[in-house]
Amino acid sequence: MENEDFSSLSKKKLKKLIRETQDVLDQLKAELKMRKLDKRHEEIDHLEDHFEDAAHNLSNLKTFIQKVFAEMRKDK
C-alpha cells in the first residue's frame, strides 16, 4: 500500500481498512511474541546440555591445571 491514494475512499471504508490493518498487526505481534516464547522454551529445554558441556570443560581445565602444577613440582 505504499504511496497509495486513499482520498477516494469513503470514511466508512477508511475505518474498515484501519480495523482490518489493526487486526493484521495484532496477529503479527502475537505471532512474534509466540516465536520469542517458543525460542525461550527451546533454550530452557537445552539448558541441561549447556550445563553438562560447561561441567565437562571445567573438568578438562581442572585436569590441565593439575598437570601443570605437577610438572612445576617436578622441575623444582
Confidence of residue 3 (pLDDT cuts 50, 70, 90): low
Confidence of residue 74 (pLDDT cuts 50, 70, 90): confident
Dihedral of CA atoms 58, 60, 66, 68 in degrees, nearest 10, equals -120
What's the predicted TM-score (pTM) here?
0.55
Q: Compute CA distances 52 → 47, 56, 57, 67, 76, whole Å.
A: 9, 6, 9, 23, 37
More confident residue, 12 or 5: 12
Whether 1 is in a domain gets the answer: no
Please say if the pLDDT value at position 2 is more than 90.
no
Predicted local confidence at residue 27, as pLDDT? 98
Whether 4 is in a domain gets the answer: no
Number of domains in the chain: 1
Residue-number span of the structural domain to which 49 is assigned: 11-75
Whether 59 is in a domain gets the answer: yes
Please say if the pLDDT value at position 57 is more than 80.
yes
Output the CA angle 34-38-41, nearest 5 degrees. Answer: 140
